[in-house]
């Protein structure tokens, strides 16, 4: 079904990203590409779907055949009729505002009749019971709902191969389970599935083989049973996350301290619900994990704390002094969930020191070295992998040394080694006059990092 022979890939910088990759994937197999951020996993996926050469300017040597077709001889639209893609950020998929039109747009573009489109839509709804997502505004969907829609669109396209790049990176446990069940249904339908992932536990029931990628090479491969028999320590030594689901061990908030949220009220625009918090107390010197399902209001909560939500009605005190929104904004720094929105300069080193007066260059370079970014210090931030961009944004926040630090999904798309490194970096920022907030679905990371968790579900109310 997919045959790769000795492919090498590089970009205009002459940096070798893939080096001598060869593999064969049979029809109906589920293949997992695992390995650290920047190892070349996504480049393998994007070589197969044609995006690396035709959209990213990659130079590829070697042969890639899909169902016997050499993709060098195919136009991109012809490859798209053989391979469908699901990306880490589902926002990059969409061309329509309406969800139903989005599902059908590809079918319309390839010239299917209305009767055939209706038939495929009905078939998709039998496989995936997502009727509740039809005729919705895409911008009003949660992150999990967008990813579910992306996978459904891949199925309805009619391709026999689906490639997925970090599909679980921004999802809560419930939505990860839904994605796992959807992929199992795709496999049962005979589709071939190739996945790049760091959070691997949810794939263990359907994966057939695992390829470990390092420095653009396949350094090991495992059959499913052999991979399942690897101990947690062995997995971590290989820079891989646990292959079974992790339980949260961090205690809930003790409601003691010197930062008091006397009241915080915020109404969501699209529903009759909102956040309603009374007498929540937090302590300086502590790290708080902010948990809850996709769409419950975690990011909204920290935006209210920072002071950027104008519609938030709040009374917040630090050491009995009331803080205005302007006060809180001055003492806060944030790593956004989508770090592409906060990368502005033309080099990594400039990005990390942006807006910081009197920053010491050796401090910046030491931080970049700790995050394994020093070799990329002169690279444009937008040319880095997703995990590397995340670490650049984290470095910029650490350099600011703010009293209130906020991290929104800081380990999204992060391998084990860098997750542990980020955990150590965040814990190293603890001080008696600082509070750190981490919005995260990453249970492994929270267990390693947080002192307490705050479950936002308890504060979502009808208003």
pLDDT digits (tens, 9 = 90+) for 178-207: 999 999 999 999 999 999 999 999 999 999
CB neighbourhood size of 258 (10 A): 16
Q: Are strands 2-10 and 59-66 parallel, antiparallel or unpaired?
A: antiparallel
Q: Give the full edge-to-edge strand order of the sheet including 217-223.
A: 83-86, 161-165, 192-196, 30-34, 209-214, 217-223
Residue 169 has pLDDT above 70, yes or no: yes
When pLDDT is averaged across residues 7-24 and rounded to a whole number, the result is: 87
Reference 185, options 93, 235, 123; nearest CA is 123
Cβ atoms 200, 4 nearer than 8 A: no
Between 337 and 393, the higher pLDDT residue: 393
Between 63 and 371, the higher pLDDT residue: 63
Residue 241 has pLDDT above 90, yes or no: yes
Residue 104 has pLDDT above 80, yes or no: yes
Q: CA 283 to CA 435: how far, in whole Å?
A: 7
Residue 13 has pLDDT above 70, yes or no: no
**Residue 196 main-chain phi, psi, to 5 deg:** -100, 130
Report which DSSP code applies to 189: T
Instruction: Give the pTM.
Output: 0.85
Domain ranges of the chain: 2-237, 259-462
The reported pLDDT for the residue numbered 463 is 66
Q: Are strands 30-34 and 209-214 parallel, antiparallel or unpaired?
A: parallel
- Supply the CATH classification number for the domain 2-237: 3.40.50.300
The reported pLDDT for the residue numbered 164 is 95
The reported pLDDT for the residue numbered 218 is 96
Q: What percent of the chain has pLDDT over 90?
A: 64
The reported pLDDT for the residue numbered 38 is 83
Structure-token pair, residue 224? 């499913």
* Residue 447 DSSP SS3: helix
Cβ atoms 29, 208 nearer than 8 A: yes
CB neighbourhood size of 92 (10 A): 9
The reported pLDDT for the residue numbered 326 is 95
Which helix H or strand E contains 305, and what residues bound it? helix 298-306
Residue 144 has pLDDT above 90, yes or no: no
Long-range contacts, 94-101 (Cβ 8 Å, 24+): 94/138, 94/146, 96/138, 97/137, 97/138, 97/139, 98/135, 98/136, 98/137, 98/138, 99/133, 99/134, 99/135, 99/136, 99/137, 99/138, 99/141, 99/149, 100/134, 100/135
The reported pLDDT for the residue numbered 356 is 80
Q: Looking at 98-112, 137-151, 295-309, 352-366, which range is the least confident one?
A: 352-366
Q: CA 378 to CA 380: how far, in whole Å?
A: 7
Q: Do 259-462 and 2-237 have the same topology in CATH? A: yes
Residue 143 has pLDDT above 80, yes or no: no
The per-residue pLDDT for range 249-304, each reduced to its tens digit, is: 999 998 889 999 999 999 987 678 899 999 999 999 999 999 998 888 999 999 99
Placement of tokens 């931080």 in the chain: 367
Specify the CATH number for 259-462; select among 3.30.930.10, 3.40.50.720, 3.40.50.300, 3.40.640.10.
3.40.50.300
Residue-averaged pLDDT of the chain: 91
Which string of DSSP letters, residue by residue, matches 388-422? HHHHHHHHHHHHH--SEEEEESTTTT--HHHHHHH
Cα dihedral sign, 420-423-428-432: negative
* Residue 10 DSSP SS3: strand
């Amino acid at each position: 079904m997919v045959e790769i022979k000795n492919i090498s890939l590089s970009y205009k910088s002459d940096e070798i990203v893939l080096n001598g990759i060869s593999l064969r994937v049979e029809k109906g197999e589920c293949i997992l590409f695992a390995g650290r951020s920047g190892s070349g996993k996504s480049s393998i996926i994007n070589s197969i779907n044609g995006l690396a050469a035709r959209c990213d300017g990659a130079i590829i040597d070697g042969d890639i055949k899909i169902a016997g077709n050499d993709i060098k001889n195919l136009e991109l639209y012809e490859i798209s009729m053989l391979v469908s893609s699901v990306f880490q950020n589902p926002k990059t998929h969409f061309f329509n505002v309406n969800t139903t039109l989005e599902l059908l747009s590809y079918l319309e573009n390839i010239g299917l009749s209305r009767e055939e489109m209706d038939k495929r839509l009905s078939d998709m709804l039998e496989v995936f019971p997502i009727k509740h997502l039809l005729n919705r505004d895409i911008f009003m969907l949660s992150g999990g709902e967008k990813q579910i829609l992306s996978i459904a669109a891949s199925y309805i396209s009619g391709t026999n191969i689906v490639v997925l790049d970090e599909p679980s990176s921004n999802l809560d446990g419930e939505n990860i389970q839904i994605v796992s069940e959807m992929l199992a249904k795709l496999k049962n339908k005979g589709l071939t599935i190739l996945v790049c992932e760091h959070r691997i536990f949810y794939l263990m029931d359907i994966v057939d083989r695992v390829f470990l990628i390092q420095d653009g090479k396949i350094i090991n491969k495992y059959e499913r049973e052999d991979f399942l028999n690897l101990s947690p320590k062995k997995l971590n030594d290989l820079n891989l996350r646990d292959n079974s689901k992790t339980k949260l061990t961090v205690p809930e908030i003790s409601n003691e301290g010197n930062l008091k949220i006397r009241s915080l009220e915020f109404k969501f625009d699209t529903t009759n619900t909102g956040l309603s918090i009374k007498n929540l107390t937090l302590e300086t010197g502590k790290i708080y994990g902010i948990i809850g399902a996709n769409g419950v209001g975690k990011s909204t909560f920290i935006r209210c704390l920072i002071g950027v939500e104008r519609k938030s009605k709040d009374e917040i005190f630090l050491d009995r002094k009331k803080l205005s929104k302007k006060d809180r904004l001055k003492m806060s720094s944030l790593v956004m969930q989508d770090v592409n929105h906060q990368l502005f300069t033309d080099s990594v080193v400039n990005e990390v020191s942006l807006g910081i007066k009197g920053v010491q260059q050796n401090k910046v370079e030491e931080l970049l070295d700790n995050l394994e970014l020093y070799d990329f210090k002169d690279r444009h931030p937008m040319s880095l992998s997703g995990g590397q961009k995340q670490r650049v944004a984290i470095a910029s926040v650490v350099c600011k040394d703010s009293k209130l630090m906020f991290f929104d999904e800081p380990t999204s798309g992060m391998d084990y080694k860098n997750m542990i490194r980020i955990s150590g970096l965040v814990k190293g920022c603890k001080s008696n006059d600082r509070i750190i907030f981490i919005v995260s679905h990453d249970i492994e990371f929270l267990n390693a990092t947080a002192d307490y968790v705050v479950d936002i579900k308890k504060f979502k109310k009808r208003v």
